[in-house]
Amino acid sequence: MSKPASDPAQPPHDGDGADGAAARGADYPEPIAAFVERLAADLTEAGMQRMAARVFACLLASRSGALGSAELSERLHISPAAVSGAVRYLNQMHLVTRERVPGSRREQYRVHADVWYESILNRGSLIVRWLRTFDEGVAALGADTPGGRRLARTQDFLAFLHDELEQMMARWRSLRAEADATPHSPVDAARPGDVRGRDAED
């Protein structure tokens, strides 16, 4: 996938000159750009907003997990306004946080290493809220009515899902703690197609 050439009429971001732009290009080579767009397409297919998916994928693939608006604009060839809207969506989904750049008034946006864990954990809280809502629904419709039985069956499934999720997350915490304490744990071993360990980050 080839990236469009930068518009020479556009001023450099954040006062960077040609050297800064060249450095950013070196930090964001074609294979990473292609991966970012592929992951963004998968996330969009799963229901995430397209621009938010691209920003999230770009952050996830970066070395530090944090980039500023200008860097995201440069890498994804989108406007700062598009970055702002995407970050607002990701922040609401608890996928990205905002932070101040040390020694600067500028903000940068960070995706944390445990973002998937935190995201799934938040879904557990959402399921609990749904269960309470279904309680009200069953009471309103009547447990012996067709609608009440349908809601109760859905409620049973959600309760099962919640219990399994809690157990799964507990197993992951245990596995992660063991991996952190043991160098070269299977959890951290490279898998086919795994880019971890390569110098392929931002």
Answer yes or no: are the C-beta atoms of 20 and 12 closer than 8 Å: yes
Rounded CA separation 94/116 (Å): 10
pLDDT the model gives residue 139: 95
pLDDT the model gives residue 174: 92
pLDDT the model gives residue 81: 95
Answer yes or no: are the C-beta atoms of 131 and 162 closer than 8 Å: yes
pLDDT the model gives residue 20: 40
Instruction: Give the phi and the psi of residue 195 in degrees, each rounded to 5.
Output: -90, 0
Answer yes or no: are the C-beta atoms of 89 and 82 closer than 8 Å: no
Neighbours of 130 (CB within 10 A): 16
pLDDT the model gives residue 56: 97
Rounded CA separation 143/78 (Å): 53
**Helix 18-27 / helix 69-76 crossing angle, nearest 10 deg:** 70
In order along the chain (202 residues), what is the average pLDDT of each group of 10 residues? 40 38 62 96 96 97 93 95 95 90 87 86 89 96 95 96 93 90 60 45 46
pLDDT the model gives residue 12: 38
pLDDT the model gives residue 47: 93
**Per the confidence metrics, is the pTM higher than 0.85?**
no
